[in-house]
């Protein structure tokens, strides 16, 4: 059995990765996960393509990009999935919940 290593990232790093992944999702036109982003950043750093930019917590305008990425993902899923599929319903529901949580978070900022 394969061991799965779990790592809990500090909140500011997780927020930064979420924002960066959202930007890449919008830029590339396909979903980019935080894990993929971590691998790409590590590879670039290993090849010395990237200096340490520091981590800035995203403000309200940064979260707008996350919202646009979630909306893009939701529209893509709705366009490409079968409406009768139970898996697509769960995925649509999860994205909808994430959008609602994001909206409430933005209201609190």
pLDDT in tens, 72-91: 777 776 776 666 666 667 76
Give me the pLDDT at residue 1, please. Answer: 45
Question: Does residue 1 lie in a domain region?
Answer: no
Question: Does residue 64 lie in a domain region?
Answer: yes
pLDDT tens digits for 19-44? 888 888 888 888 888 888 888 877 77
What residue numbers bound the domain in which 79 lies?
Answer: 11-108
Residue 45, CA distances (Å) to 4, 37, 48 in order: 24, 12, 5
Question: Does residue 3 lie in a domain region?
Answer: no
Residue 6, CA distances (Å) to 9, 15, 29, 45 in order: 10, 17, 29, 22
Question: Does residue 48 lie in a domain region?
Answer: yes
- Tokens at 5, concatenated: 């290593």
Q: Domain total for the chain?
A: 1
Question: Does residue 4 lie in a domain region?
Answer: no
Question: Does residue 99 lie in a domain region?
Answer: yes
Question: Does residue 2 lie in a domain region?
Answer: no
Q: CB atoms < 10 A from the CB of 8, how many?
A: 6
């Amino acid at each position: 059995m394969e061991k799965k290593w779990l790592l809990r990232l500090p909140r500011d790093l997780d927020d930064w990765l979420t924002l960066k992944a959202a930007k890449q999702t919008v830029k590339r036109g396909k979903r980019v996960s935080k894990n993929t982003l971590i691998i790409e950043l590590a590879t670039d750093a290993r090849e010395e393509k990237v200096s340490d930019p520091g981590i800035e917590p995203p403000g309200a305008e940064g979260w707008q990009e996350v919202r646009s990425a979630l909306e893009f993902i939701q529209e893509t899923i709705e366009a490409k999935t079968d409406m009768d599929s139970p898996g697509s319903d769960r995925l649509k529901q999860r994205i909808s919940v994430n959008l609602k949580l994001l909206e409430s978070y933005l209201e609190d900022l």
